Amino acid sequence: MSTGTTKLDVVVSDVVPVNDLVTRFHFRRRDGELLPTFSGGAHVVVEMRDGDRTRLNPYSLMGSPLDTREYTISVRRDDAGRGGSLFMHRQVKPGLEMVISYPVNLFSLDLRAKKHLMLAGGIGITPFMAQTSQLAGVGGNFELHYTCRTASLGTYADVLQQRYGNRVRLYHDDREERIDLERLLSSQPLGTHLYVCGPAGMINWVRDRAASLGWPPETVHFEHFAAPQPGAPFDVTLAVSGKTIRVGEQQSLLEAIEAAGVDPPYLCRGGVCGQCETNVISSDGKFIHNDHWLSEEDHRSGCKIMPCVSRFEGKSLVLER
Amino acid sequence: MGITFRKETFRDDYTFRNSPEHIRRFPFPFNEDSYMYAVNIEPHVVGPKGSVLENLIDVDEHYVAEMQDRALVLAEDPLRCQSLPHMTLAGWDLLELLMEQQALGYPEHFTLERSGDRWRWINGPLGIDDTFTFGDTSTLPYGPMEYITRQSQGDFCILDQRDGNLWMDAGMVTTQADWSLDFDIGMNFFEWHAPVPLAHEKGIFTRALKFLTNIQQGKPARRLNWTMTINPRLDTSPENYHKWGPDRATVTPENVGQKVHLRVELQSFWRLPRSNAIVFPIRCYLIKMDELVTQPKWARRLHRVIRDLPEELAAYKGLTRYRPTLVEWLSGLDDGSPTSPGFGPD
């Protein structure tokens, strides 16, 4: 059976520019009912119908889980990306009817934690907007350290400081302010859980440092949706459905499979959840693995691929789809 | 019209019975003439009218008596209901789910009125009318999970999801087939399934865990499980083994029809929205052999299933001692003719 999510018919109720790079989108249900309750850290997949092309991108819900009249997401414009964020910024206006998925949480709070220590980089702030709202509502103990390029690009830094005062610490790259990670991680009370969301480099830095300081892996949580990278077009044979497809430069392998009328299950479309894992029947060429799901051994073996984010260069690729 | 709730017992004089309508709606678990483990999970969607799947949370004629039996079990042993400190939010999630579903399916018996966080819950069959603040435990007589599961048929396990595993961190378990919440509390999915034979070799638990950790909000799933119980006893717990274990030696050719019960569990799996935990309701249905064999197809099929069951499974389900007597009795109702496909009676 498919493990995909149920869909929600929504209408864009507001579009709010936040700064030079980030715009916030508000969604309400078209039937006027309340949206499903969600937990802090959850994302939805937004369907973007752009001409004859459909993009499906995940975005963290950033509103309060206590308020289900509307969902809000914040989208950072990526001028070099595959066009999803540009579509959102240029084409999505109030009143537009869209389809989004039910919320899915792959970055859940561990409610056993005595303290939640959160580290955000750039647009990685969004899941923490919801998580801090959830924790503040029940008197939870949290502390947020937020790194941004400049004060004017510190998305929601002002809101967060206003809400939570000195529980929020800001670090600006242009002022060469940097988290003293060693000291921060060494001075936490027992029972602290660490959460990090931001660029891949930041996540790796924090995870490595936490590991070397002896933090148990189950206390370190991270979310990094890899955006599918553009690349040279390549051809793929889908053995089960008997189709041969071409993956375009700006298309992900998963999108190309879907465009051919084959629907693998998915949840995150960012190389995290494992749903679209696909067996490779044969290949002659090089895999470009970009996921966080398969083990290094799987990557080396060439027997599996995550079509949501990974690509291929070479003569032939046959998949069990 | 509403349900006519039976006055009956699941202990001592064992007056439990199924009405003829409830016999026909019994969730008979065998769709063919043999049985082996499978990952028999399917979407938990509403089924035919008049079946136990007519509503996603089923309330039947045994509701009031089952709730009374649960109260007796809890009075003797409060550890049948436990919730680790981090699971309170999941308890509120469960309270919302069960109140919504019961009010939706049985508006003549249950009413939920909400005004923001101020909720009023009216449970007609149990004579309850409470107003409370959602999220504020001090406004209920019990914790949220205990409060609502004292008013809902079936056992409930709430599984916390973390580190790619599920953890048995809260539950209300009083109608169980020989397992103990007090023993399993805090264990993960592989730990609490360790005693199950054959399934590990088949890789069933690894696949099942992968499936369960991906259950999505708004898309519950279900499966059926089964065993047998001597006398219609809901509380067949390890804690009370001395009270029911010896019953298995009391089965004779004369009393099979009255004593031996097929025990079917309708297990469902739901993602809870606020806590991101999974709730696993285990709803127990009992039917005595005399009632079951009123459906000739079920009599023929059950005979073949029990006769051909692998010995390890028969032992795990605790049937070894009385299996020959039961098979002999059922064989008299099996003329060898074919059975029609599907679970339902002819």
In angstroms, the CA B62 to CA B3 distance is 10
Q: Which residue of A has its CA nearest to B169?
A: A112
Q: How far is A313 from chain B (nearest CA, A)?
A: 31
Residue A209 is classified by DSSP as H
Q: How far is B100 from chain A (nearest CA, A)?
A: 13
Distance, CA of B27 to chain centre: 11
B218 interfaces chain A, CB cutoff of 8 Å:
yes
Task: State the pLDDT at residue A49.
Answer: 92
**What whole-number percentage of chain B has pLDDT above 90?**
80
**B340: Cβ contacts below 8 Å, ≥ 6 apart:** B297, B346
Inter-chain residue contact B214 with A108, CB threshold 8 Å: no
Beta strands of chain B (E only): which ranges? 42-43, 81-83, 110-115, 118-123, 128-133, 155-162, 165-172, 221-230, 260-271, 278-288
- The pTM of the full predicted model, rounded to 2 decimals, is 0.88
A68 interfaces chain B, CB cutoff of 8 Å:
no
A194: enclosing H helix or E strand: strand A192-197
When computed from its CA atoms, the radius of gyration of chain B, rounded to whole angstroms, is 20
Inter-chain residue contact B42 with A1, CB threshold 8 Å: yes
- All residues of chain B having their beta carbon less than 8 Å from the beta carbon of residue A109 are 276
pLDDT tops 70 at residue A144: yes
By the 10 Å C-beta count (0-12 exposed, 13-18 middle, 19+ buried), B182 is classed as middle
A273 interfaces chain B, CB cutoff of 8 Å:
yes
Predicted confidence (pLDDT) per residue in A79-102, tens digit: 888 889 999 999 999 999 999 999
Question: CA geometry: angle at B208 spanning B47 and A308, to 5°?
Answer: 95
Inter-chain residue contact B161 with A4, CB threshold 8 Å: no
Task: Tell me which residue of B211, B243, B209 sits closest to B229, measured CA to CA.
Answer: B243
**Which residue carries 């034979």 as its tokens?**
B197
A302 interfaces chain B, CB cutoff of 8 Å:
no
When computed from its CA atoms, the radius of gyration of chain A, rounded to whole angstroms, is 20
In angstroms, the CA B194 to CA B214 distance is 22
Inter-chain residue contact B215 with A4, CB threshold 8 Å: no
B215 interfaces chain A, CB cutoff of 8 Å:
yes
Question: Phi/psi of residue A124, each to 5°?
Answer: -65, 0
Q: How far is A302 from chain B (nearest CA, A)?
A: 22
**What whole-number percentage of chain B has pLDDT above 70?**
97
Of B87, B161, B273, the CB nearest to A38: B273
Show the tokens assigned to A141: 């103990």
Task: State the pLDDT at residue B200.
Answer: 65
Predicted confidence (pLDDT) per residue in B139-175, tens digit: 999 999 999 999 999 999 999 999 989 999 999 999 9
DSSP state letters, A59-112: EE--S-TT--S-EEEEEE--TTSSSHHHHHHHH--TT-EEEEEPPEESS---TT
Inter-chain residue contact B216 with A4, CB threshold 8 Å: yes
Inter-chain residue contact B86 with A65, CB threshold 8 Å: no
Say if residues B228 and B263 touch (Cβ distance below 8 Å): yes
Angle between the N-to-C axes of helices B296-308 and B323-331, in degrees from 0 to 180, rounded to the nearest 10: 140
Helix-strand-coil split of chain B, %, nearest 5:
35, 20, 45
- Pairs across A and B, CB distance < 8 A: 66
Give the mean pLDDT of A300-319.
94
Q: How far is CA A204 from CA A102, A105, A191, B162, B212, in A?
A: 29, 21, 22, 20, 29
Q: Which residues pair with B274 in a beta bridge?
A: none
Q: Where are the domains of chain B?
A: 20-331
In angstroms, the CA A171 to CA A78 distance is 22
Catalytic residue among B17, B24, B223, B307: B223
DSSP state letters, B200-260: TTTTHHHHHHHHHHT--TT--EEEEEEEEEESS-S-B-GGGHHHHGGGGGG--TTTHHHHE
- All residues of chain B having their beta carbon less than 8 Å from the beta carbon of residue A42 are 276
Inter-chain residue contact A38 with B215, CB threshold 8 Å: no
Predicted confidence (pLDDT) per residue in A151-172, tens digit: 999 999 999 999 999 999 999 9
- All residues of chain B having their beta carbon less than 8 Å from the beta carbon of residue A3 are 211, 214-216, 219
pLDDT tops 70 at residue B215: yes
A46: enclosing H helix or E strand: strand A42-50
pLDDT tops 90 at residue B207: no
A264 interfaces chain B, CB cutoff of 8 Å:
no
Question: Phi/psi of residue A115, each to 5°?
Answer: -150, 145
Inter-chain residue contact A1 with B162, CB threshold 8 Å: no
Q: Which of residues 39-68 of B touch A (CB under 8 A)?
A: 41-43
Query: Coil, strand, or helix at residue B184?
Result: helix
- All residues of chain A having their beta carbon less than 8 Å from the beta carbon of residue B162 are 108, 110, 218
- Per the prediction, chain A carries an average pLDDT of 93
A1 interfaces chain B, CB cutoff of 8 Å:
yes
Task: State the pLDDT at residue B198.
Answer: 67
A153 interfaces chain B, CB cutoff of 8 Å:
no
B163 interfaces chain A, CB cutoff of 8 Å:
yes
pLDDT tops 70 at residue B202: no
pLDDT-wise least confident of A137-151, A191-205, A219-233, B16-30 = A219-233
- All residues of chain A having their beta carbon less than 8 Å from the beta carbon of residue B135 are 138
Q: What's the longest Cα–Cα distance across chain A?
A: 59
Q: How far is B266 from chain A (nearest CA, A)?
A: 19
Helices and strands: H and E segment counts in chain B: 13, 10
Mutate which of B39, B87, B92, B217 to test chain A, going by most A C-beta atoms within 10 A? B217
Q: Which residue of B has its CA nearest to A113?
A: B86
- All residues of chain B having their beta carbon less than 8 Å from the beta carbon of residue A6 are 216-219
| Confidence tier at A4 by pLDDT (50, 70, 90) | low
Task: State the pLDDT at residue A154.
Answer: 94
**Which residue carries 């309270």 as its tokens?**
B95
| Confidence tier at A2 by pLDDT (50, 70, 90) | very low
- All residues of chain A having their beta carbon less than 8 Å from the beta carbon of residue B92 are none
Q: How far is A77 from chain B (nearest CA, A)?
A: 29
pLDDT tops 60 at residue B63: yes
| Confidence tier at B193 by pLDDT (50, 70, 90) | confident
Give the mean pLDDT of B102-124.
96
Predicted confidence (pLDDT) per residue in A278-304, tens digit: 999 999 999 999 888 888 899 999 999
Q: Cβ atoms within 10 A of the Cβ of B96, count? A: 20
Q: How far is A90 from chain B (nearest CA, A)?
A: 31
Predicted confidence (pLDDT) per residue in A255-280, tens digit: 999 999 999 988 888 888 888 999 99
A207: enclosing H helix or E strand: helix A200-212
B216 interfaces chain A, CB cutoff of 8 Å:
yes
B17 noted as active-site residue: no
In chain A, the domains with their CATH numbers are: 7-105 (2.40.30.10), 115-223 (3.40.50.80), 234-319 (3.10.20.30)
pLDDT tops 90 at residue A55: no
Instruction: Determine the residue type at B205.
Output: F
Inter-chain residue contact A267 with B216, CB threshold 8 Å: yes
Q: How far is A232 from chain B (nearest CA, A)?
A: 33
A65 interfaces chain B, CB cutoff of 8 Å:
yes
Show the tokens assigned to A34: 């309340």
pLDDT tops 70 at residue B1: no
Residue B295 is classified by DSSP as S
Inter-chain residue contact B216 with A102, CB threshold 8 Å: yes
By the 10 Å C-beta count (0-12 exposed, 13-18 middle, 19+ buried), A280 is classed as middle
- All residues of chain A having their beta carbon less than 8 Å from the beta carbon of residue B214 are 3, 267, 273, 275
Of B41, B161, B217, the CB nearest to A108: B161
pLDDT tops 60 at residue B184: yes
Inter-chain residue contact A105 with B276, CB threshold 8 Å: yes
Task: State the pLDDT at residue B201.
Answer: 66
A271 interfaces chain B, CB cutoff of 8 Å:
no
A187 interfaces chain B, CB cutoff of 8 Å:
no
